[in-house]
Amino acid sequence: MRIAEISPADVDAVVALWEEAGLTRPWNPPAVDLQRALDGATSTVLGGYRDDRLVGTVMVGHDGHRGWVYYLAVAASERGAGLGRKLMQAAESWLTANGAVKLQLMVREANAQVIGFYTRLGYADADVRVLGKRLD
């Protein structure tokens, strides 16, 4: 498997993968999030490719100190083979190379399977509460 920054030609495949993985929400158009990441000076989306077919993604970005991960997705046909772990390693490497000293991510409380995945990778509850406010 090859991991590289996605190209504009991958946009439709990325959005389809995010939808298949259940990561999208009606109030948050995935193509808009994707374009923001690709246009940002401190963010990107890494793609996992098997035989030139997109089978995984991870969106990474940082604020100068903390790195963030979003949209970690693996095609259903590829799950359980270590691709998610490889994408997270690539995200960590990208963030380290770009000056981030800490990585944070958000997982919905009810998503026990994904929380277990991140726990196995060494991530722990940071004992903080994330507050949010829609600005649109």
Count of C-beta atoms within a 10 Å radius of residue 125:
9
User: What is the SS3 assignment for 89?
Assistant: helix
Cross-strand pairs, 56: 48, 74
- Cα 38 from Cα 18, distance rounded (Å): 16
Enclosing H/E stretch for 57: strand 53-62
Tens digit of pLDDT at every position of the chain (136 positions) = 899 999 989 999 999 999 999 999 988 899 999 999 999 999 999 999 999 999 999 999 999 889 999 999 999 999 999 999 999 999 999 999 999 999 999 988 888 889 999 999 999 998 888 888 888 7
- Cα 78 from Cα 26, distance rounded (Å): 26
Q: Which domains does the chain have, with CATH numbers?
A: 2-120 (3.40.630.30)
Lookup result for tokens 């991140």: 118
